[in-house]
Amino acid sequence: MTKIKTIGVLTSGGDSPGMNAAIRAVTRSAIYNGFHVKGIYRGYEGLIHDEVKRFTTEDVSNIIQTGGTILRTARSKEFPTPAGHRKAYETLVKEHIDALVVIGGNGSLSGAAQFTEDYDIPCIGLPGTIDNDLYGTDMTIGYDTTLNTITQCVDKIRDTANSHERIFFVEVMGRDAGFLAQNSAIASGAEAAIIPEDSTDTDQLMTFMQRGIRKSKRSCIVIVSENPNGHGAMYYADRVMKEYPGYEVRVSILGHLQRGGSPSARDRILASRVGVGAIDALMEGQRNVMVGIKNDEVVYVPLKSAAGKRKPIDKSLIKVLDELSI
């Protein structure tokens, strides 16, 4: 195996608060341990087009508190192709990059796993996604910050909901995972959460309505996880207006404001730990693993498992919300 001298780092897919903290940790830990570091801009697309810069500790100064990613990010259609993989590998060879650290979510780590099958390059993944849907780690970078952002938004929506005695359907991100919706519903005191892991039919919606709108309550807030099949907040609001015409209904789709903002202390610490863990993994000879945290311990998870296995939601959280929303 070629001795690692230079480590490349990139961010890919959707941005998440704490990515900059992870870039900082990877860069400084690598330099501390005698490696060179090169930042790769705009994810896999930048890797294909050789958008690479040598990083020093100064390049990552004063970024731990900032949202987004200083390396920028992009979704590359070319990278998954054989030609894209070849161009990416040629860039690594040209830039003398011996190992790659990829900070991103499911698609980004899947791409890294496939790339390493085609070319012999050690790759370490870091779990950077607000969705918290990567298998093998208790938390992903950005999830805690986003959860707090959603809770703050719902607190403000509650003021209007109470004042006008309305039902609000609040749509949050999460792709096909309900971690954000379920836990933000508990944290904000919402009456219900509609999540992919607990698919809602007509009878369940009726239960939500009967439980949430009663004489003891002036409003009802339902958190809805975004749904690629069109069963998002607008879908449920339309159903209520048709099936329960006596209620005033409003929809709030929080959108991309969920991704932004200064990362929470928890996300900064998580990003720092797994960033240092990535360099430790490379020094230990690890290849093609994601660095995560399980039971407050750093763990290594095969990239294919991290991106390929479905992370289960704790179904007891559904019971908690049901009991507390009466």
- Output the DSSP codes for 127-138: EB-TT---TT-S
List the structure tokens of 281: 């993994």
Query: Which amino acid, 28?
Result: R
Active site residue 267: no
**Cα(180)–Cα(264) distance, integer angstroms:** 15
Query: Which amino acid, 264?
Result: S
**Cα(28)–Cα(86) distance, integer angstroms:** 29
**Cα(147)–Cα(168) distance, integer angstroms:** 18
Residue with tokens 């501390």: 32
Q: How do beta strands 192-194 and 167-172 pair? A: unpaired
**Cα(267)–Cα(19) distance, integer angstroms:** 9
CA 228 to chain centre: 17
**Alpha helix segments (H runs only) across 135-250:** 143-164, 179-188, 202-212, 233-243
Please identify which of the residues 15, 98, 131, 133 carries the catalytic annotation. 131
Q: How do beta strands 220-225 and 192-194 pair? A: parallel
- Identify whether the C-beta of residue 167 lies closer than 8 Å to the C-beta of residue 219: yes
Q: Which residues are catalytic?
A: 131
